[in-house]
Structure 1
């Protein structure tokens, strides 16, 4: 069996994840396609992940493709998490993940409505959804608060988990909007405030034509392998949230080939992708919390020293802002209240690396400008650096 070393895996990150300067593209769509999907739970992550890889980082370029061209699409998909993908990749993600997520969201909402015991049912939900869509058609776009003002049904409150310890009273507006968005009937438009805000406006959209789930999963697995291979079954299972049977069928359908890793484990690569690649020029990167290069595998031992985890992860397993040198996570960074990037190295990487990291910090500070960024999921080191 062919072996792919940890060093080769780190070289692939630099090249395939567009982190080496010579690999940087012009377009945010190219970044999204190279990584398959950008984490979007924290609105700022999309911009930070894209601009870290762009030849000419610019907020306006990302905003244009998100909100004007709509060549980048937000989807509630893998692991019931919000991602941004290209318009070309969106049908694959919708069929392989988002469709099932949307169906579960609708079932859950209907269950809560009927358990409330006030006659709220599927017909009530359908009528409310039509009223929301009509309001968006009339307005063009609206915030959740504006929709609630325009559609009285959205101001309805229900009792969730009645008679149980976790019983609580909640409004339905956010849940109805979430279901419509999950089904692709509405989409997130420009937020209130800056690009770091998650207070999105909403606008109507057209659901995509359905693809076959199994075929979509096979194609998505193939694209993922081209970006993240070699990777184990468990890595793909974690990234997608699929069952093990779905993972194995998708790998088989993609024609994935077995390789051996440095730790002796078996992993998979895309067809005819077992060969070595030349190392790019030395590179440094400051990547945001939840960046795909840090979140792409369940087992990150080949690029993340075990001793760094306590400083770089929160209690829920979310990784914070990371400093990279040639494919290895070597520290963490943050932005202080005055906008100054500050970082700490957890690995001694030498003067050349420190100089390159400082240059990346200056590049980050230049395009971020006066915007202040606080990650949604804060880690011990990020808190310490900004404290």
Structure 2
């Protein structure tokens, strides 16, 4: 086009994914912390996703459960907390301050008023009462170190109070103060998810005090987070960045300018990379296959996904809310999906056969065997189930 901007085609973007997201065999990581740093964030809504995403990227996947659990609950090098789009992610702990300032403060500023409005409508006490309960809950948590909501309520009985939510609406129901308050404290960056009550697939968590962190300037934190993400996922469009961060477009543009992001041409329009990252990718990814879990950060990384996922595959691989299920990858694009049956067998199906031959099939079989080998007797059912996953398990 002659405008001076370099064109980055889909082949190069797929190579970047293989290398920078630790999916190519030669690019696999040595520890869970390396995986988290490479991806910036691991989606944490479904607890199993964190472990499955790490295992797909570790050179020795058999260490996944022990080392990821140690990083989360013993070493404290990874932390599960609210982040972008008011969703729970796992981050490297040194990103705690950046994530909270860049994405959490805005949510924390509006949520207390929303909760108080809902509580008042349901007949619950006022703001002063809620503030007392919040301070008492944090004090209990400091004493206990980690605790479930029920354990916290043993020391602070007001957490058991209930109020009517959505009176007269189809979703009317009783909400417990503990459930709403602990979520609010998470959004405010005061508490994080602690060790689960059961196995690594359990969705029942203890709560823990948030790691201490400095209060950062919001604009500076947004620039820092965007720089980290573009280094992992660039090139990306402005729409991709707005979707992933959950920020206003003015905030995205301000951060892009602050980090000196450079423009490239993509099939869908203008893309951005970090300063100095406009050149061809250094190195190349050998042919690779991957079985990535539901909500994997690579599969959910961009709003515009046609360059790695055909629109024809979406009805089978996504639920009605836009959550991606388990996916099968070949050389940087999604070609199908997988599931685990009740007997532990890993089954998969190719939906897009373009360019998929014997080499791809052998690589997928090897990945399925690798996955079953380290998952062992654990049974995994995605929190958000998709049509193909349900069909394969049936």
Give the match for residue 115 of structure 2: 109
| One of 261, 271, 283 as aligned partner of 1:267 | 271
Show the 5 A alignment for 1:267-306. Answer: 267-277=271-281, 278-306=283-311
Deviation at 1:27, TM superposition (A): 1.4
Question: What SS is found at the alignment partner of 1:323?
Answer: strand
Question: What SS is found at the alignment partner of 1:303?
Answer: coil
Deviations along 1:176-232, one digit per CA (max 9) or x if unpaired, are: 111122223222211111100110012234552210000111111111111111110
Deviations along 1:55-102, one digit per CA (max 9) or x if unpaired, are: 112201000010111111112121111111101222111110022223
Give the match for residue 182 of structure 1: 187
Matched residues in 2 for 1:127 and 1:195: separation?
34
Matched residues in 1 for 2:222 and 2:193: separation?
25
Matched residues in 1 for 2:142 and 2:257: separation?
44
Deviation at 1:271, TM superposition (A): 0.9
Show the 5 A alignment for 1:337-356. Answer: 337-348=342-353, 349-356=356-363
Show the 5 A alignment for 1:116-155. Answer: 116-118=122-124, 120-155=125-160
| One of 215, 228, 232 as aligned partner of 1:227 | 232
Could you tell me whether the CA contact under 8 Å between 2:336 and 2:352 is conserved in 1? yes
Give the match for residue 86 of structure 1: 92
Give the match for residue 376 of structure 2: 369
Matched residues in 1 for 2:199 and 2:326: separation?
20
Give the match for residue 14 of structure 1: 18
Question: What SS is found at the alignment partner of 2:299?
Answer: helix
Could you tell me whether the CA contact under 8 Å between 1:184 and 1:207 is conserved in 2? no
Could you tell me whether the CA contact under 8 Å between 1:10 and 1:326 is conserved in 2? yes
Deviation at 1:166, TM superposition (A): 4.9
Worse-matched range after superposition: 271-280 or 326-335: 271-280
Show the 5 A alignment for 1:91-102. Answer: 91-102=97-108
Show the 5 A alignment for 1:311-326. Answer: 311-326=316-331
Deviation at 1:290, TM superposition (A): 0.8
| One of 222, 228, 252 as aligned partner of 1:217 | 222
Is structure 2 residue 77 aligned with structure 1 residue 71? yes
| One of 233, 244, 259 as aligned partner of 1:239 | 244
**RMSD of aligned C-alpha atoms?**
1.5
Matched residues in 2 for 1:16 and 1:340: separation?
30
When residues 194 and 166 of structure 1 are mapped into structure 2, their CA distance, relative to the original with a 3 A threshold, is closer
TM-score when normalising by structure 1: 0.96
| One of 47, 50, 57 as aligned partner of 1:53 | 57
Could you tell me whether the CA contact under 8 Å between 2:329 and 2:336 is conserved in 1? yes
Q: Aligned pair count?
A: 385
Deviation at 1:234, TM superposition (A): 0.1
Unaligned runs of 5+ in 1: none
Could you tell me whether the CA contact under 8 Å between 2:191 and 2:207 is conserved in 1? yes
When residues 165 and 379 of structure 1 are mapped into structure 2, their CA distance, relative to the original with a 3 A threshold, is closer
When residues 164 and 358 of structure 1 are mapped into structure 2, their CA distance, relative to the original with a 3 A threshold, is closer
Question: What SS is found at the alignment partner of 2:265?
Answer: strand
Deviation at 1:269, TM superposition (A): 1.0
| One of 372, 383, 386 as aligned partner of 2:390 | 383
Question: What SS is found at the alignment partner of 2:94?
Answer: coil
Matched residues in 2 for 1:299 and 1:12: separation?
16
Could you tell me whether the CA contact under 8 Å between 1:95 and 1:216 is conserved in 2? yes
When residues 383 and 167 of structure 1 are mapped into structure 2, their CA distance, relative to the original with a 3 A threshold, is closer
Matched residues in 2 for 1:122 and 1:106: separation?
9
